[in-house]
Structure 1
Amino acid sequence: MTLEAVFGMASTLAFFSWIALFIFYPRKWIYQTLFSGVFILMAITYGFYIIPALFNGGEGGFSTLSEVRLLFGSDEALLAGWIHYLAFDLFVGMWIAQDAWGKDISRWLVLPCLILTFMMGPVGLLLYFLVRASKIKRLNQSPYHP
């Protein structure tokens, strides 16, 4: 299978997972499906591409931006990085949906947060924190407090 095909399949899977998350977020089975199905599949695919990229003598590191750029010098490592983003942004979206459901925040207020989390990760999470703060009447937040 080509890297472009894997990229397309991973992106499509993530896209439809986000749609399902928004539609079915009050249902426990959606979290079980995403955790037990989508995340496992993404993690296996990520490992399949990142492990060889790490051990094939690739250059780079984490100390400078230039070193990080070198880490993604191969298409396999770049694909793995993309899958990494897809999986973790989806995880954050699942947390947002679950937390919003527990706090009785309207799904229509959560929708822009989920869209932004899908497209721009931390920006969507920040927006959700602001929506959440207005609901719980507290700017200082913790995932462990109502």
Structure 2
Amino acid sequence: MGLEIVFSIANSTALICWLFLFVFYQKRWVYRGLFSIVFPLMAFLYLFFILRGIGGESRGGVDSLANVKLLFSVDEAVLAGWIHYLVFDLFVGMWISQDADKKGVHRWMLLPCLLLTLMLGPAGLLLYFLIRSGFNRKLIQDPYAENLVH
């Protein structure tokens, strides 16, 4: 299977998961499906392509930006890096959705957070933290707090 096909399948899978996450965020089967099927499969894909992309005689490293660029100069490593983004952003989106449901954050306030997390990862998480802080009326966050208002 070609790299472009794997890229398309990974992107399509992630997009479908994001849609399910927004539409069915209150359903436990969404989270079970992500944890039991999607994340393990994407993690396997990641491992397969990262080992092909940076294994063996690859150049580069993680000690400088120039070396990171060299490390990801192989298409398989770039694909693995993209899958990495897809999985971790989806995981963050899942956490945001689950936390928002527990805290009673309305779905339409959740939508911009999820869209930003899908497109710009940490920006969506930041927006959710700001919304959560507004509900909680304090800047310091407790990820384990059951209620927003104390």
Asked if TM exceeds 0.5, the reply is yes
> Under a length normalisation based on structure 2, what TM-score does the superposition of the two structures give?
0.95
Task: Flag structure 2 segments of 5+ consecutive residues without an equivalent.
Answer: none
1:118 is displaced (CA, Å) by: 0.3
Task: Flag structure 1 segments of 5+ consecutive residues without an equivalent.
Answer: none
Question: Aligned AA for 1:92?
Answer: V
> Under a length normalisation based on structure 1, what TM-score does the superposition of the two structures give?
0.97
* Number of equivalent positions: 146
Question: Aligned AA for 1:102?
Answer: K
SS in 2 for 1:142: coil
Corresponding residue for residue 13 of structure 2: 13
Question: Aligned AA for 2:18?
Answer: W
Corresponding residue for residue 48 of structure 2: 48
Question: Aligned AA for 2:103?
Answer: K
Identity across matched positions, percent? 54
- Asked whether the equivalents of residues 7 and 79 of structure 2 are also in contact (C-alpha less than 8 Å), the reply is yes
SS in 1 for 2:110: helix
- Asked whether the equivalents of residues 53 and 75 of structure 2 are also in contact (C-alpha less than 8 Å), the reply is no
SS in 1 for 2:69: helix
Corresponding residue for residue 114 of structure 1: 114
1:98 is displaced (CA, Å) by: 0.3
Cα RMSD of the aligned pairs, angstroms, is 0.8
Task: Provide, for residues 41-89 of structure 1, a one-character-per-residue CA deviation record: whole Å limited to 9, x for no partner.
Answer: 1011111111122322111111111011011010000000000000000
Aligned equivalents of 2:55, 2:83: Cα separation in 1: 19
Task: Return structure 1 stretches of 4+ with deviation > 2 angstroms.
Answer: none
